[in-house]
Amino acid sequence: MPAPIQVRTSAREANHGLNSERMRAALVARLRAQGIADERVLEAVHAIPRHRFVDEALASRAYEDAALPIGHGQTISQPWIVARMIAAARNGRELGKVLEVGTGCGYQAAVLAGVAREVYSIERIKALHELARNQLRPFRLPHVRLVFGDGMLGVPSAAPFDAIVVAAAGLKIPDALLAQLAVGGRLVAPEGGARQRLVMIERTGAQSWVRTELEAVRFVPLQSGVLL
């Protein structure tokens, strides 16, 4: 597993009241109280200062359990849903290679880096792909690989994946993603239009998958193609 991520609080962050250690600890305590029991996932959330992934004007809200805008009609998911999806995909297992569909600002990829040996994250919006690259650079995570491309197609050259986490809701789970899931692996994604539910799909064989519906959620829509 990757070494713990060491993060220093800058003078600017201290002046804005962003005592990262204290606020991250409070966030983890809330997540635990909300039912997140996977300690590896909680440790990964604790390691990543969420305020560094949002606009400075929103930094004071970074540790609220809320989705926040990151531009281009996209959001950074609320911390609870990030932890919930990763914990469901992990299911207590050691993860080798994982895929995130929808890099956004890079926050969830950074959290995934704390629970997996190798992380691929694909983003269809070029500006967000570049934003995530810049946001993640100071963390020096060599096992995180960012890909610019159509997330509905996945990253077949790197498949199969032990886990796939999708950060946008399609009307159905793309067949390409199901095909890239390793046998025994889990895919967690929101599904639906106006009404969405989180679904978990476990691949049980070469041509067999088991689907479980979880709770109601609200995500931005999953779209095909790329935006330059």
Query: Annotated active-site positions, please?
Result: 77
In the chain, alpha helices (H): 11-15, 20-33, 39-47, 79-90, 107-112, 126-136, 175-179
Beta-carbon contacts of residue 197 (< 8 Å; ≥ 6 apart): 190, 191, 213, 214, 215, 216, 217
Q: How far apart are the first and last CA of the chain?
A: 35
Query: Hey, how many other C-beta atoms are within 10 angstroms of the C-beta on 153?
Result: 16
Q: How far apart are CA 166 and CA 131, in angstroms?
A: 19
Query: Hey, how many other C-beta atoms are within 10 angstroms of the C-beta on 175?
Result: 10
Do 218 and 115 touch, CB atoms closer than 8 A? no
Q: Which of 216, 183, 185, 184 is nearest to 199 (CA)?
A: 216
